[in-house]
A and B are shown apart, each in its own frame.
Chain A
Amino acid sequence: MAANGSPKPEPMAAKKASPDLLNSSFSFKSLKLKTKQQELLLRVSILGLVYVLAFIARLFSVLRYESMIHEFDPYFNYRTTLFLTEKGFYEFWNWFDSESWYPLGRIIGGTLYPGLMVTAALIYWTLRFLRFFVHIREVCVLTAPFFASNTTLVAYFFGKEIWDTGAGLVAAALIAICPGYISRSVAGSYDNEAVAIFALLLTFYLFVKAVKTGSLSWALGSAFGYFYMVSAWGGYVFIINLVPLYVLVLLITGRYSMRLYVAYNCMYILGMLLAMQIRFVGFQHVQSGEHMAAMGVFLLMQVFYFLDWVKHQLNDTKLFQTFLRITVTSAILVGGIALGVGTASGYISPWTGRFYSLLDPTYAKDHIPIIASVSEHQPTAWSSFMFDYHILLFLFPAGLYFCFKRLSDATIFIVMYGLTSLYFAGVMVRLILVATPAVCLISAIAVSATVKNLTSLLRTKQKVPQTGSAKGVGSSKSSSKVTLDQSQPFHKNGAIALLVGVFYLLSRYAIHCTWVTSEAYSSPSIVLAARGAHGNRIIFDDYREAYYWLRQNTPTDAKVMSWWDYGYQITAMGNRTVIVDNNTWNNTHIATVGRAMSSYEDEAYDIMRSLDVNYVLVVFGGVTGYSSDDINKFLWMVRIGGGVYPVIKEPDYLVNGEFRVDKGASPKMLNCLMYKLCYYRFGELVTEYGKPTGYDRARGVEIGNKDIKLEHLEEAYTTSNWIVRIYRVKPPTNRL
């Protein structure tokens, strides 16, 4: 920087400071010619780093365990993707799967969102075309991190659209490592949400852009984004309700414009037509109650436009007022009548249970136990908000403040997205995911605006001492400046302190995110890991042991009965037919299995015979202390079974409203099929030193029925840690 000053002879010591400063500022200015490029370079490299970071932060599970598919639903997705890549798209579309829901079967092509599978298959085919012969499993495992990386890009552009590039960059960085998003997008978590969040954010971004510019092409883009979202996840209902709501708010607040008209009409009509191409969605856009809001707003917009036009034509305000009154009343009347007739005639289906349970959190608990039984459908605890959002939780209100301070069409959208999704996140744990992008964006606005304010405060201050010293020749004349300076050290120090605070918070956030990702969200849940007595890592690979045993050592047409949680895994890993699986489309069928599990053995035997069951699989954690086993899920089986078959009554399994498995348990509990299958010969086993035989480590009690005899079933296989137990259903004995 001081290169310009050096050829000159040695300056006098007293004046040394000023020429240096002058020179340095001069050479800095000569560099300033490239500031634009410098900024671009900086931005691109930050984005590139964020992109890579988002990808590699999600690879913990691959490093800790292996490149494998996680959890339950991803196994189904993996199986269908495998089918798609092997048999082609048309076979996939027409696939009738006889391996699940025996004896009903399932029309896979018509009952799933194909977006994820098609995406993975396209990536796979592209790589093959480019002569990279990768395994489809690797593609599936890495799809989620790849799309998470893409989401950061969308977040950047979205942030840029609603605030400025700084906010965009911060949003990209925040969303790249936000635990709320990582929880559903680690490597191996090959689920619909993995691509859906990308599609959701993309649709919103393109729509906001369309509203901002009034350009047809952006609206078209957002329609395609919506189509992709519809093809990928059932959560598209959120878009099709939020967008009309937003439009409505803009209408009410008097922000109606031609831009909005173009954007919404194009997006809605094209998006609707495109969405109808997905077989699972079909005509729901015109027939289902959940989609009626969008249609209503669409019609309202036409009325609004018409009125606008009439107002333009009529000069008489009074005439217009009456006209307005007539039109609005008749429009509302016609709409109301159409809706009423549609609903009454059954053309428009009423809201589904899931939708109800979103609006009324207690609905599922009372009416649909099968939705309430899923842990990710529970209302969210405060701790999990803190866990998933960390500092974003209080940056969010700050961001809202900034948004309200600078209201525009875009900020109104993000505010509405943030508030509605945060409400839904409070209703259901899994919807934290949907709220995450909004929370990240709004928090990014807070961070970016704060930092910008603080640094500009610092920068203006830096100039004053510079000018002060530049006039060093006339040193005594600076008294007027000194009075100006007096208020500034306080400002400056305050700004510095605040900046340090912001960076401290952000670094805490980064540390928290890394910790959460590595400790909580990177476990595949199919392989369990524990720490041994000497700090060594112990792996319980019992699930795969059992599924592989099924795959290798049972007849290929064997039917396996288990609780629905394990259905997808059994079909994908065990390659055997199951009675029920995680696609809980038939409540009666699940209730039948629940009833079999909670009946006495001979009653259950009749049910199993009628379902043609050859093997029964139960998950049991009594030996290892694994708590999410079938005994702990048992009450849900009773409830779901009892919901359809009133012979099953929950109180029969409880003692004074308490669920127990020890000696004090109810006799029905001690002799039902599930109890027998879990504890068969467990009474002879010593699980823990110093405890009696048959001590259940998951529940910490000695079991109540140690002498279990099975009449119609026999133990076929039990895994090395007893976590999965498989029983063979004996053929009926000959009648004499």
Chain B
Amino acid sequence: MKKNSSVVVDLLLLLLAITVLATPAFSDLVLSKVERRIDVTSQIARVTKTLKVVNSGSESVSEFTLTFPKFLGNNLAYLSVSHSEGKGKAKRSLANLSVKEAHPKGMPDSISFYSVSLPKPLSKGDTLTLEVVAAFTNVLQPFPEKITQRDIHLVMLQESAQYLSPYVVESQSLSIKLPNARIESYSKLENTKVQGSEIKYGPYKNLAQYSYAPIVVHFESKAAFAVAEKLVREIEVSHWGNVQVTEHYNLVHRGAQLKGEFSRLEYQDRPNPQGVSAFRHLLARLPPRAHSIYYRDDIGNISTSQMQSDSKKTELLIEPRFPLFGGWKTFFTIGYGLPLSDFLFASEGKRFLDISFGSPMIDLVTEKLIVQVVLPEGSKDISVTTPFAVKQSHEIKYSHLDIAGRPVVVLEKNNVVPDHNQKIQVYYKFSNINLLSEPLMLITGFFVLFITCIIYTRADFSISKSSAAYLAKLQWDEVLATLQEVQNIIQKCLAAHDKLEASLRDLSRTGDIQTCKAARKSTDSLLKDLSKELRPLLASLQSFPSASQISPKVEELVAKERELQEKLMAKHTTVVEGYEKKSSGRDIENRIASQQQKIIALRQEVDDLLEFIDEI
């Protein structure tokens, strides 16, 4: 009620001020026809005016003044004036005109002034049609201010039936479009008509300057009074092909507050659910090709959202965790990725990001919007162009693998309505080389890691080089190395044996004694060399005290190998002799049978010993 009474005081002041106004301070313009349409189907009051301006004075005029009562002017979120030429269907509207707030002297405080500079000075007798679009927030006052869950949501609109203007108005009319036909009350003046959900006032003829006829319309509104108290949009550009948008909403329902109980039973009652003043979901229209969409809050993912997408748009229907009644709040984050190629363009050696400024939510009022454009690390010469005035500042943000940090352009604007959803451009310079820095850093990191590992395994880090344990370890390493060599030699010997056997088999097939003998000769010399090599190794092995357990085994191995070698030689000699004497195959076989058996047994023993040594 307090708010309402203050509005009433405002109105009184306004009326007082208007009566006080004496001289026409403004030029001799006359508004020959004014049509006003107020659309209050959503929470935003959208006023569209068509003004036909005639210069009835003698001097040409280049400025036009728009006025609003202060209580409206304070809530003005968006104002655009354009002028149109031609008539009827052929009418086309031309470029927007520049508008700025004016504070003419000697004018009462209860009126807000905006001066519009006309495209060309309006000379005597000329006419001009202006199209004015204005959006007001917070002008629909919930009344009563607190309702229970069962009540319907009523709001109140205050306006003037007559157009408040510093100029004489010859004819004006007003129509108010309401969301539905349920009208609680409205001010009845002359020429008031109600047609369904529309109320019409006027036309009123020949109104003096600053005419004012307050009206109040009290009606039902089912619109969602969703207001983002604060919205932070973070737009992060990655030159790897993605624009990541993250939006943090502090949402509140600014309609009539809920009083008393919230009953889930009544809220979910099927035939006639109660609690119509609450809203369950919000619709966001994201750009086409939006991907990896998420919707979460401080405590996790929110699973109640639906998405539809086609080539033109992506529609995301999000449902807060709980229905929002009047006065209830919530906070959530939505995020999505956009393809870089749709938003990043190049011009004159610079790149620019062309992306919409406001929130993608339908009919959302944002009280404080902060847009942070995060550019890649190493971007330079950053500049921003916006279609309307915003507060600008710069920050640095650190993200994965950043060293210098990423430059951030911060844009701030209060009282943002969907009409502000226009494109902004962020220009910057960026060299493609910088793209490679992060992968290179990773590669270097891993490289260093592996190098350290290699150094660690290769280098000797023991502190005391003379301690017994350390020396024993060194010695043991040497023993193992020697053992390895012994094994290698034995393996070579065995390989030589195999070769000898193979030569015997060849002999039995081809009968070529010479080749066999040659093989024998080469094997002999090879084996001799090997045994020569073996000797110092065995000696050194015996000298190690720590190898005392192993060396007998090794010696046994060497002895067995030698025995095997001898037996094999004997067998070879027997076979070759047999062939030279041209004995029969069976005869030779019989002769070597006993040797063969020994050889196999010896070979087995050697293998076992080798295996044993291998396991040390």
Contacts and interface: CB of A to CB of B under 8 A. Distances in A.
Interface in A164-190: none
Interface stretch (A312-320, A394-402, A546-554): A546-554
B448 interface: no
Contacts of A547: 299
Given A19-B502, A473-B589, A547-B299, A133 B614 contact: no
Interface string A151-175: 0000000000000000000000000
Interface string A557-591: 00000000000000001000000000000000000
A715 B607 CA distance: 87
B498 A715 contact: no
A548 B264 CA distance: 17
Interface stretch (B174-182, B191-199, B396-404): B396-404
Interface in B46-78: none
B542 interface: no
16 contacts: A8-B502, A26-B494, A32-B491, A33-B488, A130-B445, A467-B600, A473-B596, A541-B321, A548-B321, A549-B321, A552-B328, A552-B329, A681-B263, A681-B265, A714-B261, A715-B264
Given A32-B614, A33-B488, A131-B400, A26 B498 contact: yes
Given A35-B614, A467-B604, A545-B321, A722 B596 contact: no
A133 B399 contact: yes
A573 B299 contact: yes
Nearest to B397: A133
A653 B98 CA distance: 77
A15 interface: yes
A722 B330 contact: no
B321 A684 contact: no
B262 interface: yes
A548 B299 contact: yes
A685 B267 CA distance: 12
A474 B329 contact: no
Given A470-B603, A474-B597, A715-B263, 6 more contacts: A131-B398, A132-B400, A463-B607, A474-B589, A539-B303, A681-B263
Interface residues of A, number: 48
Given A15-B505, A133-B399, A548-B330, A470 B600 contact: yes
Contacts of B260: 714
A471 B261 contact: no
B300 A715 contact: no
Nearest to B328: A553
B300 A68 contact: yes
A587 B494 CA distance: 81
Contacts, number: 111
Given A19-B505, A22-B498, A133-B400, A545 B596 contact: no
Interface in B252-295: 260-265, 268
Given A552-B331, A573-B299, A474 B265 contact: no
B589 A12 contact: no
B265 A684 contact: yes
Given A12-B509, A545-B321, A548-B297, A131 B600 contact: no
Given A68-B300, A131-B403, A467-B604, A544 B596 contact: no
Contacts of A97: none
A68 B301 contact: yes
A688 to B, nearest CB: 15
A717 B320 CA distance: 15
A470 B603 CA distance: 11
Interface string B388-426: 000000000011111100000000000000000000000
Most B CB contacts (10 A, CB to CB) among A30, A68, A474 go to A474
Interface string A133-150: 100000000000000000
B7 interface: no
Contacts of A68: 300-301
B593 interface: yes
A614 interface: no
Interface in A289-307: none
Interface string B602-616: 011001000000100
A66 interface: yes
Contact of B322 (A681, A717, A722): A717
Nearest to A5: B502
Interface in A15-74: 15, 19, 22-23, 26, 29-30, 32-33, 35, 66, 68
Contacts of B399: 133
B593 A474 contact: yes
Nearest to A540: B303
Q: Which 3 A-B pairs have the closest CB atoms?
A: A718-B264, A66-B301, A573-B299
A548 B596 CA distance: 89
Nearest to B329: A552
Given A545-B321, A715-B261, A131 B301 contact: no
B320 to A, nearest CB: 9
Contacts of B506: 8
Contacts of A26: 494-495, 498
A477 B598 CA distance: 12
A133 B596 contact: no
B298 interface: yes
A29 B303 contact: no
A716 interface: yes
A52 B221 CA distance: 58
B150 to A, nearest CB: 14
Contacts of B301: 66, 68
Given A29-B491, A545-B321, A552-B329, A717 B262 contact: yes
Interface in B558-616: 589, 593, 596-597, 600, 603-604, 607, 614
A66 B329 CA distance: 25
A553 B258 CA distance: 12
B299 A716 contact: no
Interface string A243-267: 0000000000000000000000000
A427 B261 CA distance: 47
B295 to A, nearest CB: 11
Nearest to B608: A463
Interface string A698-736: 000000000000000011111110100000000000000
Interface in B319-333: 321-322, 328-331
A539 B303 CA distance: 8
B261 to A, nearest CB: 5
Interface string A80-101: 0000000000000000000000
A446 to B, nearest CB: 23
Contacts of A473: 589, 596
Q: Which of B263, B298, B300, B600 has the most CB of A within 10 A?
A: B300
A68 B301 CA distance: 9
With a 10 A CB-CB cut-off, give which of B399, B400, B506 has the most chain A CB atoms: B400
Contacts of A720: 264, 268, 322
A131 B262 CA distance: 48
A15 B589 CA distance: 15
A19 B501 CA distance: 10
B299 A544 contact: yes
B347 to A, nearest CB: 32
Contact of B597 (A463, A477, A684): A477
Contacts of B603: 467, 470
A709 to B, nearest CB: 12
A33 B402 CA distance: 48
A66 B589 contact: no
A549 B297 CA distance: 12
Interface in A456-500: 463, 467, 470-471, 473-474, 477
Contacts of B604: 463, 467
